[in-house]
Structure 1
Amino acid sequence: INLDPPVLTVHQSIGDAKEYYQERTVFLRCSGNSSPPALLTWHRNDRHTLIGDEGVSIYEPLFTQGETKILKLKNLRAQDYAKYSCVASVRQVCGLKDQKASFKLTNRTAAPSIQIRVTDPVIVNPGDLVLLQCEVLGGDPPPRLSWSRVVGELPPDIQVSGGNLTIPRVRLEDAGEFQCSASNNVSGPVRKSISIYVRTLRNGRFWITPDPYHEDDTIKIGREVKISCQVEAVPLEELRFSWLKNGRRLRPSDRIIISKADSELAAGTSSLDIIDLRFTDFGTYTCQAKLANYASPEINIEVNISSSTVPPSVSVPPNRARLRIREGKDAELQCEVHGKPKPVLRWCRIDKDCTDPVETYDGILHLRNVSRTASGVYRCQTSPYNGFNVPPREAQVELEVLYPPPVFPQTLELRQALGRSVSLRCNVERGKGWRPLRYEWRLDGSLLSSARYDAADPNLYEIEKLSNRDYGVYNCSVSNEAGTSSCIFSVNGRAYAPEFYYDTVNPVRSVKPNVYSFLLQWTQKEPEAVDRVTSYRLQYKQIRSGHPRWQGVDVSVPSQIRRGDLLSHTISDLYKPFSYHVRLTPQTLFGDGDSALRLVHYYEAPTLSPQTGDASCSFEDESLCGFRHDPSGNFNWTRRNAEKKNPNTTPNTGPLTDLAGSSKGMLAADVPYSPGGTPAGHYMFIEASRPRKPGDKARLISPIYTLATPSRSGGRQNVFCLFFYYHMYGKHVGSLNVFIRSYGTLGDQPMWSHSNNMGDHWHKANVTITPRGPFQIILEGVRGSGMEGDIAIDDVTVVEGSCAKQSSFYPSPRNSCDMALSHTCCQLYLVALALAYGLMWPR
């Protein structure tokens, strides 16, 4: 779950216009990134912008799935030059607060315009100081400048300050394309790029090409021979070549052709063609490469042309064609190469793409810490560089990596009851090796059996009838030439851990004023896997410092526990309001099994209305019937009555007493009810006086509501009715909102809302709720524009069934049972309610 700040950008209807007052239409685009999807709303000058406002339209672009909203200002007016804000909200899911982005639109608003005050590209020598300056030419609001590298990250030694990028001592790896970006949220970022070239001259190499027209493999008198040399140079425009023979500069002639840029070869190559080779042409030829404007050493590549020049050949030394090595060791694959000049060898595996071969000058390929995946056939092949440019010569070397035999399962736990048969099998994929496999079975280190691979089922160990002495750790070791692998079997009769049931209805009950009980329920995992569970050891201790001691009790169980049986025990001596660690351990003939741990928390269950028997809260108890304050709010609701009311309370707002029926258990009619409660009766209240500010919220969250029995609607969706009374009196009253938080539904769903002054009366609200599962009610009070805006609530009641059904079932104060007048009437009424409804409060 996340909520990123929204991104707000401004766009014009015509792309080449420079200033917004020249245009008649402006688009403000707001994009959000969140999970769950955020609700995007627009505000102008901190006021909510309505779609119906003339000249303003709000819409979502196609294929954006609610992640983008556009505010269109058509026929731009003077009042449209204002501050616009986009607010992204996920409605306080997981306490995530709203995010906002703002933009002030004026008649000077314009997109950025920039330039880089250096000629592109920048060519420098290694070690030089490089300074790139990016300058703002225009834009309103003033653009923000940043530098980046087109490919990769900026090197750590590069210094960026505003529009300046400085490289104190440039290196070869600093070369590349850099980009200056300017952004002011108008028409998207503007970018300018520039390249830095660092002069480089390296990696000189050569090759000899015999007469290509006759497909010769050797140099022959009277035939053509071509010498080529190549270097890596940056920039190529500054690269210069020259040729020497026996130390003297060579001049082109009819038979000597020098090509400084051979179109048939890669860049940075020069060729010397000798037509009709003569004996006098034998000698040492030197190819010189250097960069103009760079005082670095030149590269000299020497090539000897003589009658002793021979083409390359490759072979594998005796007894080196097949190499066997243990996994984890180093390996050396060797090929012998002959020829004059001696060429470079390239290595690669024949079953892999040879796009990046390994080059060696001594013919040896070094492999470090080889693994079994390195097994295969390797090819050594002559390179065309520093030798003859003829079809490559090659040879092959096979590498076999020896490793211990793979086994499975490597570890396995078996839980079995006494008297049962057990079979242990260590499956083996035979490893690479000369000697046969060998098996060895041990129990807790003691040898049980030993056999070769060709014995009958050497990888199987069977126990016909399990006894106490058969419990333990079995180790099956499998060996070959490369090493040993093992299968580990842990055989025991330990019972699995119990699994707690967390949906117990109303597990907490008050036993004494300072003592409560907790109904603990659980099921036993795989009860038939081991011997019968005879009892459970139940232990518990308080979660607070200074109380490390566990209290315990043994819990007896039925003669036989089946899978899925729900077991229970009531812990009856827990002290309010402390929480407890609870540990439950099953016990069998083997001994203690695995333990399960959970926490037990105390909470005050809501009181039941004496009038209805349903889940109702009149806030007469300090525990608030399990209601709690939402920490995501700006302030909290206050429990209050007339006796403890602050004498300095703001006049002309708020109730004088609680609802008239609160202390009597009566439900008022669906009409305003005049003050007339008792001074001792309590209600919940939000104070609008300072330091509260407009829009501040106080949120009260109910306990979780569940059904004690399946719904009477035959599997259809559950329906509940929420009754409560509210008092909204004062000229600055804000709003009162009701949300439902249902399990299986993301976010709080709005269900009811009321705003503004309702007079000095208590009013009744009926809200029908159709949750998908267990749910909570959230009562949110929002502070209005001033201090005369107090809001109060009282007698919050939830019953099963729709509110339309309840309106005919529940009597109004004028026809309700009066306990003093008709005791028999009220008895019948309460019995009817008990039979009709099964709404319970959960944990």
Structure 2
Amino acid sequence: MGVCGYLTVSWKCLVVLTFRLLFLLPAGLPVRSQGDSQPDNKVMENITVRQGETVFLTCPQGDVVTHTAWLNRSSILYAGEDKWSVDPRVSLVTFSQEEFTIKIEDVDTSDEGQYVCAVQTSSRPRTTSVHVLVLVPPQIINLSKDLVVNEGADVTLMCQAGGKPDPSLSWQLISPSGDLGSEEEVLEIPSITRQKAGTYICTAINDIGTDIQTVEITVNYAPSVSEGRDVGVTLGQKGVLECEADAMPEASFEWYRDDRRILNGFDGIEIEDLGHLSKLMFFNVSESDYGNFTCIAINTLGSSNTTFLLYGPRTVQDGNNGALGMHTHTYNCVVFVLFLLFLLRV
């Protein structure tokens, strides 16, 4: 039951017992004079353990042991077989004449430090100390939020991480070129362009592991419309004019014939919008459908437009007839010149 009993331990008795364990003086043992032998102190090599693992602390016994204890700083973890620590992660593994071993499970940074095994034998006190080092994998603890900015704005991304040893940090843009990066916790992007929009990866790495997190940057810009392609369609056939725009946010489209806006279903014409593409569709082209059309792409940052010509085969035929007439005229001129040369010879 111990010196004073588990249930009837007085405050004074507990203090006396604690000091006996700390100074390793068994009951009735006189204080040594300066001429007596000094305690035998031994320092073991550091124990390195990863955060979350289990560490075993072993202390050799030997001789005739009267008292023994494992201490962490000023706290007693185990005194012999009696557990003094209230931490459920600490437990006794072996307690015999040969060794005294305890273990600490799920080790954390708060467990780092010096541990002392104090042994009192019949001849002299002995201490064995060991320093426990806890290695911690990197963890990103401060990261910029996803951003939506306008083209031309200055952007700063921040990434901070903890770990032991201190992790190194790097930024990288996920893109085919992958030409934008940094080996610092801060990434500066002056006057950002649409080509630099996308997913940015922050990587924290040390000898224990790696942590990766991402930031998404969306860059808004005004629409840019591709040049319109003229389309030739035979009467009674289907004709389609296609207008493509690059924009962020996505553009809306408007179609015009001269100064008059074309609405969906107007005069049998249908408009189909497919994200970045708008189609103006004629299902039964008539003579009145031929002419110039304008497509306008619009978003909150601006607009852009392009024009199209819907034409019929007669335009092409007239062009061919003109070319044929020119060739015929040239042929007649050549024949006439040859005829004159023939007359001159005669």
TM-score by length of 1: 0.22
TM-score by length of 2: 0.48
Q: Which has the higher contact order (CA 8 A, sep 6+)?
A: 2
Q: Would you tell me which structure has more strand in proportion to its own residues?
A: 2
Q: Would you tell me which structure has more helix in proportion to its own residues?
A: 2
